[in-house]
Amino acid sequence: MNYTWDFSVVLRSSDMLVSGLVATLKLTATTVAIAVPLGFALSIVLLSKYRFPYFIARGFVDFFRTSALLVLIIWFYFAFPILTGIRLSSFQAAALALGLQNAAYLAEVFRAGISSVAVGQWEAARALGLHLGQMFWLVIAPQALRTIVPVLVNVLSEIVKGTALAAGIAYGELAYQASLISSTTYRPLETYTIIAGIYFVVIFTLNQLAAYLERRLSVSGGHA
């Protein structure tokens, strides 16, 4: 095949690429803002001894963890507004779907991280006369973060990947801008290659950071 690559046509639409990247990052940040606090709250309920809240949280986590992200996005965009009378923009629907699903993932991450801290640490904290809040924030959380932080960055890279599905409901992030650019320039090869390259740079950087943090924070490697 003698295909002549020509990136200049696509690069003329660089403003669309930039606005797509900004939209992708905005959706990622909003997702994090929903998923981290909610995931933390859920993990506390999962660790608690109260049966009824536990089953609610378990059901929530199981449902959202096993759902296909695209199905959730579509449900929040097309079904949720009719059911509740609350109209959602494509950005809001995608942010809700991504936020709730990742809250479910993070609930498990936080739960595992908190339970990875040895029981003796709780006992020692209690012996020092700390109350529950102090025990958690001063003793347990700093140690749990060692295992949680690398996974958190990993989840962040998965969120960036997930935002591409918002193109399915026409939210103007990178993948959606790509479809617009390729239909006006008739250069799908160059367009999708550039888009894939931009995603690669963002996601690869995050994954490298996660790997670095994992090495740096691992209990055996770091100065404990």
Query: What gap in Å lies between CA 92 and CA 28, rounded to an integer?
Result: 12
Rounded Cα gap, residues 76 and 13, in angstroms:
31
3-state secondary structure of 87: coil
- DSSP at 118: -
Residue 69 contacts another protein per CB under 8 A: yes
Binding mask 120-159 for another protein (x = CB under 8 A): -------------------------------------x--
Contact 42, 54 (CB under 8 A): no
| CA 219 to chain centroid | 25
DSSP state of 49: S
The site string for another protein over 22-41 (x = CB under 8 A, - otherwise) reads: --------------------
d(CA 6, CA 218): 46
170: alpha, beta or left? (left if phi > 0; alpha if psi -120 to 50): left
53 binds another protein (CB under 8 A): no
Binding of another protein at residue 21 (CB under 8 A)?
no
Closest CB 37 distance from another protein, rounded Å: 24
Q: What count of other Cβ atoms lies within 10 Å of the Cβ of residue 180?
A: 16
* # residues contacting another protein (CB under 8 A): 46
Interacting span for another protein (CB under 8 A) from 32-40, 66-74, 106-114, 129-137: 66-74
Q: Does 164 participate in binding another protein (rule CB under 8 A)?
A: yes
x-or-dash string of contact with another protein, 72-111, rule CB under 8 A: x-xx--xx--xxxx--------------------------
- Does the protein bind another protein through residue 45 (CB under 8 A)? no
Spatial contact of 41 and 205, defined as CB atoms under 8 Å apart: no
Structure tokens at 111: 């739960």
Binder of another protein out of 63, 87, 126, 128 (CB under 8 A): 63
**Tokens read off for 58:** 């378990």
Does 56 bind another protein (CB under 8 A)? Our answer is no
Q: Rule CB under 8 A: which residues touch another protein?
A: 1, 3, 62-63, 65-72, 74-75, 78-79, 82-85, 157, 160-165, 167-168, 174-175, 178-179, 182, 188-189, 191-193, 195-196, 199-200, 203-204, 207
